[in-house]
Amino acid sequence: MLLAGQACLIVAFCCALYGIAASLYGAKAHRREFVASGRRAMYALAGATTIAFVTLELAFVRSDFDFATVASHSSTTTPLFYRLTAMWSSQEGSLLLWLFLLGGWSTLILYLTRHRLRVLAPYAQAVLLGFGAFFSGLLVFAETPFAKSPMPVAEGAGLNPLLRDPGMMIHPPMLYSGYTLFAIPFAFAVAALITRRLDAEWIRSTRPFTLAAWCALGFGIVLGARWSYHELDWGGYWMWDPVENASLMPWLTATAFLHSVMIQERRGMLRIWNVSLVLATGVLAILGTFLVRSGVLNSIHAFGASTLGVPFLLLIAAMIGGSIALVASRADSLRSENRIDSLLSREAIFLLNNLLLVALCFVVFWGTFFPLIAEAVTGVQRNIGPPVYEQFVVPLALLLVLATGIGPVIAWRRATASNLKRNLTKPALAGLAVCAVLIALGVTQSFTALLMFTLAAFVVAGVVQELFRGVRARRATSRESAPVALVSLVRRNRRRYGGYIVHVGIVTLFVGVAASSSFKHVQDVALRPGQSAKVGDYTFTYVKPTAQLHPAANGRLERIAFGAQLRVERNGKKTLLNTSKDYFPSQDGSLGPVSRFFDGETTTEVALKASLHNDVWAAVAPDIVKLRDRIEEGDKLFDKAADDLTPEQSEEFLALALRGLTGRYAENPPPARFRLEVNPMVTWIWLGGLIVLIGGIIAGWPSRRGATRTVKARYAARVGTEVRERVPV
């Protein structure tokens, strides 16, 4: 199996090299059969990678510790669901996931465009195969996931407990899908530049993939934030870590592109800008992968020891150098057909939106790389914290929301006073009304939050107004009921109305961020059973300690949980919540048989009661110091009796000892430390993320018009082939 997996990777690497050569030769010599062969090389790469991927997954499922990767990232006590996800917790497994997704998405785009974009396709597939060659090369020559364990392994190290979360199944594949999908518009942009076919056709053909990448990356980012919030014991969802920032940057530039591309399609403007945004997004997607694997910056997400920094740096340098050279040499073909007529126009607002998004990206980029910039300037590495980011990101985000409210309702080319009055009066009044109500309710502690709520209401009111007008117009020409008219309206112009839904999702998310960061209540306290602490309007009471042994599916002990039951009261309403700290056994052979259960990894199981209004959040840090004497005593007893006990007896007595320890903790608990939080409207962030995803799917869903275009393209291709066959060249 090891050999088969490795062979598949070698095949994938060879296919990539062959495909690049065939595609480029085919394009140069006008030999279509070579171009088709290059395309099939991508299919073969995807097939070989899929076999390698499945082989490694099966090894994880079977706990085949002959695979060094499996031995170091899984164990027999790791639940099956998490064994399936353990692959991408390793450097080599995550690279294989990258290649697997890249192969799959590239195959799909090349298959769908096989009858279209014939001039561009060979170069685009060469670029995609270039990425394939890079990643398969890394897997073959630097980080193979099919290395054999140096010695027989009876039990693996196990998946890190912090990663035993359902998010592990979705969050990394979503992020990687985003990154790999961004390779597609990048490849077609490069091809368009090489061939000077710089009209909007390549943009239209790759748009569903750009949108899919944007949705996947955005959803992946939100999932990561959610995971951090409910799994880690710090109660936050974003900490401006370099790796988090690295995922945000391509998302921001892609958001800018998705807006500005409308101006190119409609008015033939901003060609240099659009192509630059696509190229920058592709580079930033690879930069994210580089940051995780290079160790160049101090990130809590970075791989511990990686030697992949240099190859990634070379790839990024090639991408940046090639992109700049291509754009500079094609500047004459990238000239705009038109110019902005007025600053009061949709084009101008979209451009402002683009500038704000790029400014946001620049702030994030600057903050991420500031340690290196500071070192270059002052000779000392320096870091900036969240307050610096927030000082710049908050005003830019507020302006962005304002532009989001104006952009969709203002006229193209030049807005008149009557157009502005007609489209902006009601949304502005709605925003001001919300602001007045909030001031009356006493929500005045944070000016920026108040401004965000006001602007959010302005945006939502604008979208409602557009939908209302659209439904009214439809009903005037048909006899549809309002809900049917609404659905028909959205179906007939998915891109427009999907975009509006995305806007509603984004402002919902921003409202959640503004509320939760401005009105959060936190307390770190030590409590004995029966004692209480007040956090905001809520009273938390430590009711009783909990202690439990959790066996795995194979009967062996997976973890020990020490926790607390809390009673939360507000206005006479009571809720019981449970939080615990889970202790996973260590594989360190130098530890005693009892102490190894207390000196391994720990995870906090957060108590969370979420609602649209408030999240009540609690995490416990139990004090097990008083158990230490008993644990050491147990180690000594087991050491003394080691020769007299059979393995079965040893297991039995160990279980008894651990039961005794948990019982002792529950009967006589020391004070436990708690972090107690009341976080307003955090649920709005997750809800906003979901609305954005739904809106993105609606906007990217293939329309009937698109299908017609595909049919026409197929017909044109068939006619072209027939003509070529009949007319001798």
Partner 1 sequence: MDPSRKRTIRFVVALSAAVLLAGALAYTSFSASTEARQPSELAAAQPTPGKKYQLVGKVVPGYTQKGDTTYFSVRDRNGKASVPVTYSGSLPDPFRADREIVVDVVKQGNVYVGQKGSLVTKCPSKFTADKTNT
In the complex, minimum distance from the CB of residue 78 to partner 1, in angstroms, rounded to a whole number: 14
In the complex, minimum distance from the CB of residue 85 to partner 1, in angstroms, rounded to a whole number: 11
Q: Which is nearer to partner 1, 10 or 526 (CB)?
A: 526
Spatial separation of the C-alpha atoms in residues 155 and 172, rounded to whole Å: 26
DSSP H/E element including 172: helix 167-195
Q: Which is nearer to partner 1, 391 or 532 (CB)?
A: 391
In the complex, minimum distance from the CB of residue 512 to partner 1, in angstroms, rounded to a whole number: 22
Concatenating the DSSP letter of every residue in 82-136 gives HHHHGGGGSHHHHHHHHHHHHHHHHHHHHHHTTTS-TTTHHHHHHHHHHHHHHHH
In the complex, minimum distance from the CB of residue 526 to partner 1, in angstroms, rounded to a whole number: 7
DSSP H/E element including 267: helix 242-267
In the complex, minimum distance from the CB of residue 483 to partner 1, in angstroms, rounded to a whole number: 45
Q: Is the dihedral of CA 406, 411, 413, 418 positive or negative?
A: negative
Q: Which is nearer to partner 1, 133 or 363 (CB)?
A: 363
In the complex, minimum distance from the CB of residue 726 to partner 1, in angstroms, rounded to a whole number: 52
Provide the binding-site residues for partner 1, judged by CB under 8 A: 72-73, 89-91, 160, 162-163, 232-234, 239, 292, 298-305, 307, 339, 343, 355, 359, 362-363, 366-367, 370-371, 374, 380-385, 387-388, 391-392, 524, 526, 581, 601-604, 619, 621, 623, 625, 673, 675
Q: Which residues contact 176 (CB under 8 A, 6 or more apart)?
A: 88, 94, 97, 98, 101
Beta-strand runs (E) in 660-720? 672-680
Annotate 230-244 with three-state secondary structure: HHCCCCCCCCCCHHH
Main-chain phi, psi angles of 608, to 5 degrees = -140, 125
Spatial separation of the C-alpha atoms in residues 306 and 297, rounded to whole Å: 12
In the complex, minimum distance from the CB of residue 217 to partner 1, in angstroms, rounded to a whole number: 19
Q: Which is nearer to partner 1, 673 or 705 (CB)?
A: 673
In the complex, minimum distance from the CB of residue 631 to partner 1, in angstroms, rounded to a whole number: 14
Q: Which is nearer to partner 1, 121 or 393 (CB)?
A: 393
For the chain, the farthest-separated pair of C-alpha atoms sits apart, in whole angstroms, at: 95
Spatial separation of the C-alpha atoms in residues 262 and 279, rounded to whole Å: 17
Spatial separation of the C-alpha atoms in residues 581 and 669, rounded to whole Å: 14
Q: Which residues contact 191 (CB under 8 A, 6 or more apart)?
A: 117, 120, 121, 122, 123, 124, 127, 197, 202
Report the side by side order of strands in the sheet with 521-527: 521-527, 672-680, 614-621, 607-609
Q: Which is nearer to partner 1, 247 or 683 (CB)?
A: 247
Q: Which is nearer to partner 1, 57 or 605 (CB)?
A: 605
In the complex, minimum distance from the CB of residue 340 to partner 1, in angstroms, rounded to a whole number: 9
Task: Classify residue 549 as exposed, middle or buried by CB count within 10 Å of its CB (0-12, 13-18, 19+).
Answer: middle
Q: Which is nearer to partner 1, 133 or 607 (CB)?
A: 607
Q: Which is nearer to partner 1, 104 or 670 (CB)?
A: 670
Q: Which is nearer to partner 1, 578 or 650 (CB)?
A: 578
Q: Is the dihedral of CA 422, 426, 427, 429 positive or negative?
A: positive
In the complex, minimum distance from the CB of residue 392 to partner 1, in angstroms, rounded to a whole number: 6
Q: Which is nearer to partner 1, 628 or 636 (CB)?
A: 628
In the complex, minimum distance from the CB of residue 675 to partner 1, in angstroms, rounded to a whole number: 6
Q: Which is nearer to partner 1, 191 or 577 (CB)?
A: 577
The CA angle 130-133-137, to the nearest 5 degrees, is 145
Report the side by side order of strands in the sheet with 602-605: 532-535, 538-551, 557-570, 573-583, 602-605
Q: Which is nearer to partner 1, 385 or 702 (CB)?
A: 385
Main-chain phi, psi angles of 229, to 5 degrees = -65, -40
Kind of pairing, strands 602-605 and 532-535? unpaired
In the complex, minimum distance from the CB of residue 299 to partner 1, in angstroms, rounded to a whole number: 8
CA distances from 292 to 8, 225, 313, 367 (A): 26, 17, 12, 16
Q: Which residues contact 307 (CB under 8 A, 6 or more apart)?
A: 142
Q: How many CB atoms lie within 10 A of CB 659?
A: 13
In the complex, minimum distance from the CB of residue 98 to partner 1, in angstroms, rounded to a whole number: 15
Spatial separation of the C-alpha atoms in residues 357 and 255, rounded to whole Å: 8
